[in-house]
Amino acid sequence: MAGRQDGMHPSKSVFRPLLHHLESCLVDMASEGLVDKDELDKFNMPVYSPSATEISIARLGELRDEYLSILSAAEFRVVSEGIISKAFGNEILDELYDRYAKKVEGPSSIRDEEGLAVQLFILLKRNY
């Protein structure tokens, strides 16, 4: 889950640069005929990045946080692969994410203006 600081506008989340790189790869592949341009024009990836206050796990009552870790940019494939494969098919996945990995290499490629880039993986379990 990509997060943002309390008070920061959702458009400033870490997903913005990650999605920019993904979009760039898809546009390149469309210009090479590997992705259908009409499908790319119709594609929408809905994303919302909550603030820490909005993720109040304590309020969930029946759930507890079992595991919390920071995700790398390379793990973005896990988050986006299902949506991408549904829109464009499984055939492009390896090529797309190989290109994506090359674009996001380097420490500054997923940083925002303040140099912050935090994605969290939170595993929630039901309390029984």
pLDDT value for 7: 75
Alpha-carbon distance of 111 to 38, in angstroms, equals 31
d(CA 49, CA 88): 24
**Mean pLDDT of all residues in 20-48:** 91
Task: Look at 22 and 111; give whichever has higher pLDDT.
Answer: 22
pLDDT band at residue 52 using 50, 70 and 90 as cut-offs:
low
Q: Please give the CATH topology (third level) of the domain spanning 10-126.
A: 1.10.1200
pLDDT tens-digit readout, 63-94: 555 555 555 556 778 888 999 999 999 999 99
C-alpha 13/C-alpha 50 separation (Å) is 9
100-110 burial: b if 16+ Cβ within 10 Å, else e: beebbeeeeeb
Quote the pTM value.
0.65
